Amino acid sequence: MKLIQTMSCLGAAALLAACATTENDHFYTLGGEATAAAAASSSNKIYIEMLAANVPAQVRRKQLVVTTGAGQVDMLEHHRWIGPLADEISQALSQQVSAELGAIDVYRTPYPPGAAPYRISTNIQRFESSPGQYALVDATWSVRQVGSDAVLTCRSVLREPVGQGYEALVAGHRAALAKLGSAIAAGVRRGPAGGC
């Protein structure tokens, strides 16, 4: 009987030790404060529709997917996006474009009669995360004003150097998406005739 009690106590101690060393979950977001480089000063309201971003299947998951070597990646079970990556990207872009243009994002929302929102599509070609090295966003995007057939289609490749740690990696992606949002906002201002 004493042997069984001793074994039970040792088992419980081992279980507690295992629990003590379990890594905590960390959650990250790509949204946040957008930087308004040059908000629109016009009294006319600008409306945009930031459509849901298309994201490669390899990174379309809650876990951070990081490059660990040539052709090797890891999914970090304890480091996750707070929401689906496509939603996180779309929200970050919407915030940045809205801040720079003084615009209202009316995606899936009724807008006033006669308004012609700028419909923005984003296709993320690559979303690479290399801890301690870089965060990369390679995106094709287009802007078309509702009611017009003219379309501006451009590509932006943004590579941000990052320090050590996953917080630095996420900050790098946030910086890259802020620059992508600025490029899209500039595209809205220029219009299709202005080119990329």
Instruction: Tell me if 66 is assigned to some domain.
Output: yes
Instruction: Tell me if 33 is assigned to some domain.
Output: no
CATH number at residue 105: 3.40.50.10610
Our count of domains for the chain comes to 1
Instruction: Tell me if 8 is assigned to some domain.
Output: no
- Position 36 scores a pLDDT of 57
Tokens representing 85 are: 């990556």
Extended beta strands in the chain, E state: 26-28, 47-50, 63-69, 72-81, 104-105, 118-130, 134-145, 152-161
Low-confidence ranges of the chain (pLDDT < 50): 3, 6-7, 9-10, 13-21, 38-42
Contact of 188 with 143, CB cutoff 8 Å: yes
Has this prediction a pTM greater than 0.85? Answer: no
User: Which residue segment(s) compose the domain that 177 sits in?
Assistant: 38-194
Residue 48, number of CB atoms within 10 A of its CB: 24
Instruction: Tell me if 84 is assigned to some domain.
Output: yes
List Cα–Cα distances, 102 to 96, 119, 140, 147, in angstroms. Answer: 10, 16, 23, 21
Tokens representing 25 are: 């979950």
- Position 20 scores a pLDDT of 46
- Position 8 scores a pLDDT of 52
In eight-state DSSP terms, residue 40 is -
